[in-house]
Structure 1
């Protein structure tokens, strides 16, 4: 019998904090990143969703976001995974 790892689709929400003065510029930068979708931005708080094939892929995206200029903090809030064979 063949052992097969099913493919998964991961989605997570994250909150990014910046200064209100830098928020618009940072939102533009985040919106250009692959697999990142901005859902809200107000007073230096940015809510976004990250999609990927693995937790590691999403973690790498969050780490890249953390390293952007003007980012004070970037924290994953929620993660969910779906087996693509069941979707």
Structure 2
């Protein structure tokens, strides 16, 4: 099971989500945007080039992905944040 999954079986997510987001930003705001994205948690910046970033987000449900994407979109210096990939992986049920 993923390390961020809840401890109690009744709360365990049925699947784990991962999504990639293409972020367009003002290049002069890159350091601030990079720091703000890193502070969100569950987010990794993979590539940054000429006002674009590729970011991945992971979480136990689609809501976590949507929350992070919205937060990025609303950051000062960000012009757009668009999901380009989303995958949900079923998790094996816990046996304990």
So what's the TM-score if we normalise by structure 2? Answer: 0.78
Partner of 1:66: 73
User: Given the superposition, is the C-alpha separation of residues 57 and 6 from structure 1 closer, same or farther in structure 2, using an over 3 Å criterion?
Assistant: closer
**How far, CA to CA, are the matches of 1:43 and 1:78 in structure 2?**
21
Q: Where does the alignment leave 5 or more consecutive residues of structure 1 unmatched? A: none
2:35 is aligned with 1:35: no
Distance (Å, rounded) in 1 between the aligned partners of 2:73 and 2:18: 18
Number of aligned residue pairs: 82
RMSD, matched Cα: 1.6
Q: Which residue of 2 aligns with 1:20?
A: 27
Gapped runs of 5+ residues in structure 2?
1-11
CA contact (8 A) 1:6 1:85 kept: no
Give the TM-score normalised by structure 1.
0.86
The 5 A counterparts of 1:41-80 are: 41-80=48-87
